[in-house]
Structure 1
Amino acid sequence: MKAGKEGKSRDPSALKLPGYDAAKPHLEAAALSQSLDPALVIAVAAAESAFNEKAISRKGALGLMQVMPATAERYGVAARSSSGGEHAVMEPKVNAQVGSRYLADLLRMFDGDKELALAAYNAGEGAVIKYGRQIPPYPETQQYVAKVMRIYRTLVR
């Protein structure tokens, strides 16, 4: 292990989170399939679920990348898996694919601006458009964008 600087203790350590090793191949493959930087997709998953593939938010977002069921359905993912149990988007590979595809679409919608795409991932593209293609003035969204970008920057160093 490398010795870190004392002031770095507050930096996110996405690579040390439980679940990272299992999630990484799915996130990287999904990112590459959408021509995205894998570090950005990994940063989103770290911020969204801390790599917990079973995560379910209070608003109903599911899995590694906290995909809303309506978003999964927009991309053709059935509400239930073939076994009839949990939503199909809870499968880590499917979740990474849907989340990456949505992120890629948002990046195209906002001309490659990572911060606006992340704000839209969190608050919805309508909110970003409503506020003049700016990060909406929602504390949760502003903190989310800052957190993902902080994790992203640590991964691309």
Structure 2
Amino acid sequence: MSFSDIEPMEVEFTVYRMDCYACEVDSLIDWRKAKLYLTPYQSEINQSALKYGIDPAYVRAVIHAESHFNYQAISKQGAQGLMQLMPATALELGVKNSFSAQQNIIGGVKHLSRLLKKYNGDNKLASAAYNAGEGAVKRYGGIPPYKETQVYVERVGILHKRYGRFSYHNNQ
């Protein structure tokens, strides 16, 4: 196995690196109509959301935005798995294998829960901190003026609202 940022010629290959799905500033995706993923990882999302007291639709929106439900996703910054946890953050959250969907979701939900508590339930600030870091949110006193973070927060909000139209609590 080898890894490269250059597409090989005349060889079968798989792309595993993936940047934040919802961060692309010039995305042509209509986030109000994009396909939703209602069933993948349903049990893991519901159990973690219940354990940490957050809305499973919000968790699903973050996973959709971060990795498009690709448990093998790796960003160019090194974030890994469904919820795109940085290795140091994953360790802090007790995640031993970021490519284990279950561990990644538990760690990511734990992190989101902590951010929501810190920002008094403000999903926009929690999303901004999840994307740009808590330091950036503190430095700017709110959503940082980074275009990538601004579109990410908007798109997570759209996805959250759309996923929120479905009930996940009764479908474990």
TM-score normalised over the length of structure 1? 0.81
**Counterpart check, 1:38 vs 2:56:** yes
Q: Deviations over 1:13-32 (max 9, x none)?
A: 222xxxx6332221221111
Identity %: 46
Show structure 1 runs of 4+ deviating over 6 A: none
Residue among 65, 69, 76 paired with 1:47: 65
Contact (CA 8 Å) 2:32, 2:159: kept in 1 or not? no
Task: Measure, in 2, the Cα distance between the counterparts of 1:28 and 1:125.
Answer: 26
- Counterpart AA for 1:115: K
Query: 14, 17, 20: which is aligned to 2:36?
Result: 14
Q: Which aligned pairs between 1:59-138 and structure 2 lie closer than 5 A?
A: 59-78=77-96, 88-132=97-141, 134-138=142-146
Contact 1:14 1:50 in 2 (8 A): no
Once residues 104 and 140 of structure 1 are traced to their aligned partners in structure 2, the CA distance between those partners, rounded to angstroms, is 22
Q: Point out where structure 1 has 5 or more consecutive residues left out of the alignment.
A: 1-7, 79-87
1:75 positional shift: 1.5
| AA matched with 1:21 | T
Counterpart of 1:154 in structure 2 is: 162
Tell me the residue number matched to 1:84.
none
Task: Tell me the matched-pair count.
Answer: 136
Q: Is the contact made by 1:28 and 1:42 (CA closer than 8 Å) also made in structure 2?
A: no
User: In 2 relative to 1, CA 38–130 (structure 1 residues): closer, same or farther, beyond 3 Å?
Assistant: same
CA contact (8 A) 2:79 2:86 kept: yes
The DSSP-based 3-state class of the residue aligned with 2:41 is helix
Aligned to 1:5: none
Q: Deviations over 1:89-123 (max 9, x none)?
A: 21000000000000000001111100000000000
The whole-number CA distance in structure 1 between the counterparts of 2:45 and 2:135 is 26
Question: Structure 2 vs 1, CA of residues 37 and 119 (structure 1 numbering), >3 Å: closer, same or farther?
Answer: same
- Name the CA distance, whole Å, in 1 between partners of 2:129 and 2:31: 29
Larger RCO, structure (CA 8 Å, separation 6 or more) = 2
**1:68 shift after superposition:** 0.8
Partners of 1:95 and 1:14 in 2: how far apart? 20
Structure whose residues are more often helix by fraction: 1
1:120 alignment partner AA: A
RMSD, aligned CA: 1.6
AA aligned opposite 1:112? G
**Runs of 5+ unmatched residues, structure 2:** 1-29, 166-172
8 Å Cα contact 2:73/2:84 also seen in 1: yes
